[in-house]
Amino acid sequence: MPELPEVETVKRSLEPLVKDKTISDVEIFYGGIIKYPQPEKFKEMICGRKIIDINRRGKYLLFNLEDNNTLVIHLRMTGQLTVCDRNTSMGKHTHLVFHISSEHDLRFTDIRKFGMIYLVSTGDWCRIIGLQNLGYEPLSKEFNLEAIEKLIVGSKGLIKHFLLKQSNIAGIGNIYADEILFSAGIHPKRNIQTLAQSEIENLYNAIKQKLEEGIKYRGTSFSDYVDGRGKKGGFQEKLYVYGRGGKPCLKCGALLEKSVIAGRGTVFCPKCQG
User: Which of 3, 6, 8, 179 does the annotation list as catalytic?
Assistant: 3
User: Which of 76, 113, 165, 264 does the annotation list as catalytic?
Assistant: 264
State yes or no: is 264 an active-site residue: yes
State yes or no: is 146 an active-site residue: no
User: Which of 2, 5, 138, 188 does the annotation list as catalytic?
Assistant: 2
User: Which of 56, 59, 107, 210 does the annotation list as catalytic?
Assistant: 59
User: How far apart are the C-alpha atoms of 32 and 81, rounded to whole Å?
Assistant: 16
Which residues carry out catalysis?
A: 2-3, 59, 264
